[in-house]
Structure 1
């Protein structure tokens, strides 16, 4: 007689499904969870009459890990988040936080002031503010 444990069967099924997803999405490293497929930070894009603001979620990164480039109307944000593992004696049970490089590109409105672009980083959120030039600010025209 064989004793069956329902939770053990569910754990086995979960492991098999995880392995299938890992293979499908490009992680075929034999189970080494240090590497993962490319990731992309969640981003909010806000446009007002005065500027365009982007808010990117990049927790666990420093300003030195991130590069911001603005050329013509194309804003590119890229960087790399590394693993925080400390020792060889760790028994990794589950890894869900993405690590590796990311690259995001955004097309901005026609006339932005690239020289006045500002970037700040606070509590894991990178905020980039790109002011619009006078030509692009909306103006209310009175009818006479």
Structure 2
């Protein structure tokens, strides 16, 4: 563990230099200043999403343990933007309950991704199984260029 705070994050978590991510960059998020995403909700508010490209599709996976289908939204916006959002509410307190420790995070999250030109935005599919959301965006088939053989005279 490093004693120096990470301002820009590591390669997997930083979206500042990712041309396809539309997440807002907050340079103070990792330092824990008031008003940033640090604190009790940071683990959920900064939901990590993996994006891999296969020959057939773009596939997004997000770990969302404990969330129900109705608490998660997957939307497609203009300009090839995929938006994944949701909210986990805090457990309601009973006046007779005394909390000893609260470690599970709650709050809202939203991630946005600009998809490349080859994404079929009208065929996006999403499924959730065992707390893992999978969003599949099929890709346009690559058109093979027509090759015409030219006869060489001589």
Normalising TM by the smaller chain, what interval?
Answer: 0.5 to 0.7
Deviation at 1:86, TM superposition (A): 5.4
Q: In 2, are the aligned partners of 1:53 and 1:129 still within 8 Å (CA)?
A: yes
Deviating above 3 A after TM superposition, structure 1's stretches of 4 or more consecutive aligned residues are 24-27, 35-38
The alignment status of 1:107 with 2:117, answered yes or no, reads no
Distance 2:33 2:130 in 1: 30
53, 58, 68: which one aligns with 2:59: 53
Q: Is the 8 A contact 1:49 1:138 kept in 2?
A: no
8 Å CA contact 1:54–1:129 kept in 2: the answer is: yes
User: Per-residue displacement from partner, 1:122-144 (whole Å, max 9, x unpaired)?
Assistant: 1111000000012xx487xxxx9
Distance 2:46 2:98 in 1: 27
- How far apart are the structure 1 equivalents of 2:107 and 2:132? 18
| TM-score, L = length of structure 1 | 0.65
Q: Which runs of 5 or more residues in structure 1 are unaligned?
A: 1-23, 28-32
Q: How many residue pairs end up in the alignment?
A: 112
Counterpart of 1:73 (choices 56, 80, 93) is 80
How far apart are the structure 2 equivalents of 1:77 and 1:25?
A: 26
Please give the root-mean-square deviation of Cα atoms over the aligned residues, in Å: 2.9
For the residues of structure 1 that align with 2:140 and 2:132, how far apart are their CA atoms?
Answer: 26
Residues 54, 129 of structure 1: alpha-carbon distance in 2 compared, 3 angstrom cutoff: same
For residues 52 and 101 of structure 2, what CA distance do their matches in structure 1 show? 35
Partner of 1:5: none
Q: Which 5+ residue runs of structure 2 have no aligned equivalent?
A: 1-31, 150-154
